[in-house]
Amino acid sequence: MDLQVKPPLYRLLVIVAALLSFAGIPVSPAADEKAPAAAPEAPAFSSKNTFRNICGFCHEDYGRKAGKGPQLMNSERSDQYLFDRIKNGKAGRMAAFGGAFTDDQIREIVKFIRSLRPDQEP
Ligand code: HEC
């Protein structure tokens, strides 16, 4: 008995394999060896984005203008005062964000407020 694959049959196998692979069915181990998608890393904390997304609703233009909340740029308050206000809020006026941010993150936000300039996009 002749076990050799005859050319016409071989051609048929190639066509079937091509159709399978076209349909997304792996026909060779290589097709299966996709590297697992890397777990996305948590984006680094951005005081600017945080400010824009959360605080900007009341402290307009990144705190460069008064809105529902006061202007924060060029504040004459101490860093500690700003830190405490952000962390503890003020009843009836501003929420306490001590539960949302770590102390380090609040310090980053205070630094961001200190970096605000009237003539410079934050
Ligand atoms: C719902 C509106 C609102 C949001 C949101 C808000 N604030 Fe305020 N914020 C206020 C108001 C109103 C005051 C004034 C409170 C007072 O009388 O001391 C204030 C005061 C402050 C002060 C003290 C300023 C000063 O000179 O007395 C800082 C600092 C501050 N906010 C930072 C932030 C930051 C940072 C965020 C976001 C994490 C934020 N605020 C979100 C309304 C808001």
What is the position in ligand 1's atom list of the atom closest to the CA of 54?
A: 37
Counts for the chain of helices (H) and strands (E), in that order = 6, 0
Residue 15 sits in the same domain as residue 74: no
The answer as to whether 73 is a domain residue is yes
Amino acid 61 reads: D
Nearest CA to ligand 1 atom 13: 69
Could you read off the pLDDT of 72-112 as tens digits, one per residue? 999 999 999 999 999 999 999 999 999 999 999 999 999 99
User: Best of 85, 113, 115, 116 to mutate for ligand 1, by most ligand atoms within 8 A of CB?
Assistant: 85
Q: How many Cβ atoms from other residues are within 10 Å of residue 71's Cβ?
A: 15
| Full domain range(s) for residue 3 | 1-33
The pTM of the full predicted model, rounded to 2 decimals, is 0.75
Q: How far is CA 44 from the centre of its chain?
A: 8
Residue 55 sits in the same domain as residue 110: yes
Per the structure, the count of domains in the chain is 2
CA–CA separation, 37 vs 33, rounded Å?
Answer: 12
User: What number is the average pLDDT over the span 51-71?
Assistant: 97
Beta bridge partners of 117: 120
The answer as to whether 120 is a domain residue is no
CA of 85 to the centre of ligand 1 (A): 7
How much is the pLDDT for 41? 82
